[in-house]
Amino acid sequence: MSMKINIKLTLLVALVAIVSSILISLLSYSHILKSNQQEADKTIKSLAATVYNTASAAAYLNDEPLANDVISGLLKNAVVECADITSPKLKQARGIHCNQNQLYSEPLYSPFNANEKIGTLLIYKNTNSVKDKVLTQVTSTIINIFTIVFIIAICTLFTTYVLVSHPIAMLADELENIDFTHEETDKLKKQSRNDELGLIRSIVNKMLAKLDERLQHERNLSAQKEKLASNFKMICDISTNALVVTDENLNLLSVNPKFKELWLKNSGHHEVIYDSHWLEKISFEVDEIKQKILDFPKLNTSQTIEIEVRKPSDTDMEAQWFNLTYNKAENMFGEINIFVIISDITEARQKLLLTEFEADHDTLTHLKNRRSARRIIEKILDSNELTPEFALLLIDLDGFKAVNDTYGHDAGDTVLIEVANRYRKLTRKSDIVCRWGGDEFLIILTNVNRAEVEIIAEKLVQATAVSIPLDEQNIAYIGCSIGVALYPQSGKDFDKLFDHADHAMYQVKKQGKNAYAIYQWQD
């Protein structure tokens, strides 16, 4: 338990008083000792003057008893330690054992002749007696001082307890018992004191009032923050997008449940790993994307890029597409955070691709349709992307109408799909295979000479003639007529090439079908 202020103050006052009294006593002792020494010297001179005539008579008369009486009278005074009367005829060295430094001597002259020295009166000062007297006086002074110090200490203790220590203790108790959990903090009791403690109480109450305002403000802010945090968490939890917060080096800091679903689906890990490689776990070939995010210089500005997560060759995962929107911002601690929103646009992208596919492809055979094939060929012709030679093959199926009439349209569809697959297998990726319409097909063979065209055309004729199973009981037999136009000999634009191939095809039909013919141009 700490010492109370009134006790500390009392001890301090007492200590100062004691030290002061000791210093005063030491100074007083020196002064009193000197004063008493001087007084003793005066007393000895006075005694010498008193007994001078008697001592002179004893020395003149050589009266030993009278000399002893004088000496005995002198020794009765406490200030005299030793005394002696010396003369040629009197007994010598009565004071030989006394302190020679404290000797007072008075020459004795004849009562009848002032110039005749007859002896010496020796008086030795008693220094111990002087010191004892001084010590007694100083001790008395010290006792008086200590008595006064004790009285002052008691008064100080009582006064400081009543005026300082007790009021401060009461103030401390009140401060300790203040309850800050209530809406309004308790105030200190008002007292009619006009001193410093009264001023402290007034200032403390004003501080408590300001503290109430501050606490209420902070409570309101805290409530708002909790509400915002709750709403933000709810938004994050129910968001259909994956939400991510990282530091400026893309180290993962926090995620929402949707991101965890994406993480589990793409990485195979149940627990999210909070490092800078999280993007690799949900995508592939992301070095360029990560660098774009890290190098993005603007704060509080959104940027969106599209990510295509292609299907790895060793997995059965379908291709995915994401819009990755990121924004750099500075938090309250001056740190740069990156906020990332990952939107799964796979379904929309697939619908778009399907729409684009359907717009450019035949819905039955999935080959290029007439519009897309013409657009591609004209683009190639305009940009000179082809090698100097290529061939346009226009194919018309022979006997297809009979299959439709005999077995129905479903059987006809089966034939068209099978023929399309056979043509696709006999051509290269660089070639263009198109369903021109009905039972007509168009094929562009790139980077070929006449001999190679003839080989492929023959294979197409043979492949078409192979029987096509319709069901367990029925088989369709068809053939084809192929007209071929060579670029650039047969024309340098699509329309001319197509017309010449169509002309050659009809020549085949006139000659018996199930064959091919190359348009013969005239120089």
* Complete DSSP assignment for 473-501: S-EE--EEEEEEEEETTT-SSHHHHHHHH
pLDDT above 60 (res 282): yes
pLDDT above 70 (res 128): yes
Same domain assignment for residues 434 and 489: yes
Same domain assignment for residues 378 and 343: no
Same domain assignment for residues 114 and 19: yes
Same domain assignment for residues 323 and 374: no
Q: Mean pLDDT: which of 54-68, 73-87, 175-189, 359-373 is highest?
A: 359-373
pLDDT above 60 (res 2): no
Q: Enumerate residues 6+ apart whose C-beta is below 8 A from 453.
A: 391, 393, 445, 484, 486, 518
Q: What rounded mean pLDDT belongs to the chain?
A: 81
Same domain assignment for residues 297 and 372: no
Same domain assignment for residues 372 and 513: yes
Same domain assignment for residues 329 and 381: no
Name the more confident of 465 and 199: 465
In a domain, 81, yes or no: yes
Contact between residue 78 and residue 70 where contact means Cβ atoms under 8 Å apart: no
pLDDT above 50 (res 95): no
Of 325, 348, 371, the last residue of a domain is 348
Same domain assignment for residues 285 and 413: no
pLDDT above 70 (res 360): yes
Same domain assignment for residues 116 and 54: yes
In a domain, 181, yes or no: no
Domain span holding position 372: 361-518
pLDDT above 60 (res 476): yes
In a domain, 67, yes or no: yes
Per-residue confidence (pLDDT) for residue 317, from 0 to 100: 58
Rounded to 10 degrees, what is the CA torsion of 141, 145, 151, 157?
-160
Q: How many domains does the chain have?
A: 3
In a domain, 101, yes or no: yes
In a domain, 315, yes or no: yes
Distance (Å, whole) CA 62 – CA 55:
10
Q: Average the pLDDT over 485-511 and give the result.
A: 91
Q: Enumerate residues 6+ apart whose C-beta is below 8 A from 439.
A: 396, 397, 400, 401, 416
Contact between residue 394 and residue 501 where contact means Cβ atoms under 8 Å apart: yes
Per-residue confidence (pLDDT) for residue 1, from 0 to 100: 42
Q: Is 442 exposed, middle or buried (0-12, 13-18, 19+ CB in 10 A)?
A: buried
154: confidence class by pLDDT, cuts 50, 70, 90: confident
Name the more confident of 54 and 19: 54
CATH of the domain at 259: 3.30.450.20
pLDDT above 80 (res 354): no
CA angle 392, 393, 395 (to 5 degrees): 150
In a domain, 290, yes or no: yes
Of 348, 382, 407, the last residue of a domain is 348
Same domain assignment for residues 87 and 111: yes
Distance (Å, whole) CA 254 – CA 244:
6
pLDDT above 50 (res 377): yes
CATH of the domain at 466: 3.30.70.270
Same domain assignment for residues 330 and 388: no
Same domain assignment for residues 466 and 344: no
pLDDT above 70 (res 395): yes
Of 324, 348, 372, the last residue of a domain is 348
Amino acid occupying residue 401? K
Would you call the peptide bond into 488 cis, given omega within 30 degrees of 0 as the criterion?
Answer: yes
In a domain, 229, yes or no: no
In a domain, 263, yes or no: yes
Q: Average the pLDDT over 168-178 and give the result.
A: 72
Residue 3 phi/psi, 5-degree rounding, is: -70, 140
Tens of pLDDT, residue by residue over 210-242, are 877 787 777 787 777 677 666 666 666 677 788
